[in-house]
Amino acid sequence: MKQLSKGVVQLALWLLLPACSFAQGLVDGFMRGQDKASFALTYSQEAYDTYYAGTTEVRNPNLGTITTQSINLYATYGLAYDIDVIVAAPYIRTESSAGYWQKQEGLQDLSAALRWEAYDWKFDGVTVSWLFSIGYTLPLQKYVIDAPVAIGHGSRNLDGRTLLHIKAGAFFLTGQYGYIRRGAVDLDRVVNYYVPDQVNPNIGTKVNVPDVTDLIIRSGFSTKHFYVDGWVQKQTPYSKGTDIGPAIPYPTNAIGFTRAGANLYIPLIKTFGLTGGYSTTLSGRNIGKATRLSGGFVVGL
């Protein structure tokens, strides 16, 4: 990938951060390089007026359109030629155009990950890399977790995944599979329907946020003049969970989705460039059917 891979292209991949989870994963297949650092500041906005209650598409006039805006900070540093550390944190604002829900905003979660390139094979102009990563996420503050305008899950998460990255000239293909282990959260209210693994839950009771598996396929072209990709992500609930009841989400809801999108990065100078992205939700469970636009700038050191 020459200059671009040693610069800032991997930050262009971290554009589509939804309010409740990292779309496309926190890591990608491009290593940063020893003692090299990169930083990104991006803005994104997503909106939906249709959501999935279970897997059924629903519109609620008492919610109108839910809009989420976020400012995302991201940094990566090469601890060694085969080990990177990645840190990210968003500031999020979510509001509805109808109903009585109060706008929510604030710092969401701090996420950090270590990425290790375990193997790197080169033959006939093709490079195949096998990578592993381990990440951890924790809330940066106490925020509402059981409203349509919630800015996050509020749980502490452990994220492990493996990636296979193939590069042939300007073309690349990356596949990754991960498991996200989500911790329990404190209950903010009581509901009148069954909560798995709990008996008559009361306020303050800890309830389990369902774990998920995460599959991402990404392909595109990377040169010193531009970077472009297309991707598909499928997140599937792994553990038992509830479905949205009476139009109000709940921490124990099992959340899944299939999303697709694209990213573009254009370097303006050697260590600075502009990036943009688009994504849409193709199907889901207990999540908004959202469309997302993003943009920002990236600096490499």
Q: In 3D, which of 10, 4, 48 has the Cα closest to residue 26?
A: 10
Neighbours of 215 (CB within 10 A): 16
Question: Rounded to an integer, what distance in angstroms lies between the CA atom of residue 115 and that of residue 159?
Answer: 12
- Residue 102, pLDDT score: 87
- Residue 34, pLDDT score: 94
- Residue 278, pLDDT score: 96
What CA–CA distances, in Å, run from 224 to 46, 232, 248? Answer: 30, 25, 47
- 199 vs 69: which has the higher pLDDT: 69
pLDDT at 246 over 70: no
CATH 2.40.160.40 fits 2-300, yes or no: yes
- Residue 10, pLDDT score: 42
- Give the pLDDT confidence of 36-78 residue by residue, as tens digits: 999 999 999 999 999 999 999 999 888 899 999 999 999 999 9
- Residue 11, pLDDT score: 41
Q: Which residues of 118-131 are buried (b: 16+ CB within 10 A; e: fewer)?
A: eeeeeeeeeeebeb
Type and span of the H or E element at 12: helix 9-12
Question: Rounded to an integer, what distance in angstroms lies between the CA atom of residue 227 and that of residue 279?
Answer: 17
What CA–CA distances, in Å, run from 211 to 132, 147, 153, 180, 291? Answer: 19, 20, 12, 6, 24
- Give the pLDDT confidence of 151-179 residue by residue, as tens digits: 998 999 999 999 999 999 999 999 999 99
Q: Give the pLDDT mean for 214-226.
A: 94
Which phi-psi region, left, alpha or beta, contains residue 201 (left: φ > 0; alpha: ψ -120 to 50)?
A: beta
pLDDT at 103 over 50: yes
- Residue 190, pLDDT score: 55
Provide the residue ranges of all domains of the chain, joining segments of one domain with +.
2-300
Beta bridge partners of 121: 128
Half-sphere exposure (CA, 13 Å, Cβ side) for 163?
28
Q: Which residues of 77-103 are buried (b: 16+ CB within 10 A; e: fewer)?
A: bbeeebebebebbbebbbbbeeeebee
- Give the pLDDT confidence of 1-46 residue by residue, as tens digits: 444 444 344 443 433 333 344 455 688 999 999 999 999 999 999 9
Strands 184-186 and 66-80: unpaired
Question: Rounded to an integer, what distance in angstroms lies between the CA atom of residue 85 and that of residue 116?
Answer: 9
